[in-house]
Structure 1
Amino acid sequence: MKISARNVFEGTIKEVHRGSTTSHVIVDVKGVTFTSSITNEAVDELGLKAGLKVKTIIKSSDVMVAAD
């Protein structure tokens, strides 16, 4: 698979939390946790579950966090 994103990190799924329509997939990448919100349909199609080796791909124009 070829993609334009350059921020690709290999890791392992720690947990999958299913909601009514969306799942939060928690991935460990060398001790750093990434959380992805994706549809339940995508989780099922990809067969995502704890322990599976995956690649996290970050493609974003903005990542914002603010705190006082």
Structure 2
Amino acid sequence: MTIKAINVRNQFKGTVKEIIEGPVVSEIDVQTPAGIVTSVITTRSVHELELQIGSEVIAFVKSTEVSIAKL
């Protein structure tokens, strides 16, 4: 599969570090140069994408809201 164009500005290339698989959704930790990005996707998608530890992926981050708290 080749991605020709996508309208997401925040893209982080990395490798899958950990997969916590659940019956419906799974948690995927991706190690990027900026740190770890965690995604929650369907377990079905994990299998269809054939994700495993060490897989090279791109994490696309698109959000309509970002919250912060002062420490």
Same fold (TM over 0.5): yes
Residue 55 of structure 2 corresponds to residue 52 of structure 1 = yes
Give the residue type in structure 1 aligned to 2:20. Answer: H
Give the residue type in structure 1 aligned to 2:33. Answer: K
State the distance in 2 between where 1:22 and 1:67 align: 31
Instruction: Please give the TM-score of this superposition, normalised by the length of structure 2.
Output: 0.85
Match of 1:19 in 2: 22
State the distance in 1 between where 2:16 and 2:26 align: 13
Residue 13 of structure 2 corresponds to residue 10 of structure 1 = yes
Shift of 1:63: 2.6
Instruction: Please give the TM-score of this superposition, normalised by the length of structure 1.
Output: 0.89
Match of 1:64 in 2: 67
State the distance in 2 between where 1:42 and 1:55 align: 15
> Alignment length, in residue pairs?
68
Shift of 1:66: 4.4
Runs of 4+ more than 4 Å apart: 65-68
CA 1:67–1:37: 2 relative to 1, 3 Å:
farther
Structure 2 unaligned blocks of 5 or more = none
